[in-house]
């Protein structure tokens, strides 16, 4: 499926970019902010250690791994997939079930891309804040945008589950 291939490529590019951020380790100051107050000012710092820099890309990689493992499970073990009204769903024609499985996989791949992009924004803002001491305002926007888009995507998926043609 073309959309899946595009999402795989996007996820790979985003992960590469996130690990490239970690490669800027030597250019970071000796202290890196780890927490910000409500005004966006750094109020807690950590020493520049490899674990402090590489933790975010590794957590992002773990999140992507969970999303991809879940997407793989959908086709490998559909009996483990939990959908509302599972008994009626199991009576759908196989083609309709397969369409829903593809939609669920697309949702998971897109969620992985959103998570990595969000980690990237946080990582980039942390690097900026390490030099300035202030977190850029776009971080809050990115977090809110991710939450809103996630809710919308979940709503669309739920709508499609309940309104899927069962031919």
Does the CA dihedral 44-139-118-54 come out positive or negative? Answer: negative
Does the CA dihedral 148-158-106-72 come out positive or negative? Answer: positive
pLDDT of residue 165: 60
pTM (2 decimals)? 0.82
Q: State residue 33 phi and psi, 5-degree precision.
A: -70, 140
pLDDT of residue 11: 92
Which string of DSSP letters, residue by residue, matches 55-78? HHHHHHHHHHHHHHHHHHHHHH-G
Strands (DSSP E) contained in 29-154 are 31-36, 42-47
> Tens digit of pLDDT per residue, the chain (167 long)?
898 999 999 999 999 988 888 888 778 888 888 888 888 888 998 888 888 788 889 999 999 999 999 999 988 888 888 877 777 778 888 888 888 888 889 999 999 999 998 888 888 888 888 888 888 888 888 888 888 988 998 888 778 767 766 55
pLDDT of residue 105: 93
pLDDT of residue 157: 79
pLDDT of residue 130: 86
């Amino acid at each position: 499926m073309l959309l899946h291939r595009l999402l795989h490529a996007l996820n790979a590019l985003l992960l590469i970019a996130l690990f490239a951020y970690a490669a800027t380790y030597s250019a970071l100051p000796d202290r890196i902010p780890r927490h910000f107050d409500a005004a966006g000012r750094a109020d807690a710092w950590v020493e520049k250690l490899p674990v402090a820099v590489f933790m975010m890309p590794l957590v992002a990689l773990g999140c992507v791994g969970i999303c991809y493992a879940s997407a793989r499970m959908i086709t490998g073990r559909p009996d483990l997939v939990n959908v509302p009204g599972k008994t009626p769903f199991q009576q759908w024609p196989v083609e309709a079930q397969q369409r829903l499985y593809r939609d669920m996989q697309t949702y998971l791949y897109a969620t992985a891309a959103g998570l990595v992009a969000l980690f990237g924004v946080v990582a980039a803002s942390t690097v900026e804040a390490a030099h300035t001491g202030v977190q850029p305002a776009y971080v809050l926007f990115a977090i809110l945008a991710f939450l809103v888009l996630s809710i919308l995507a979940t709503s669309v998926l739920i709508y499609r589950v309940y309104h899927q043609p069962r031919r």
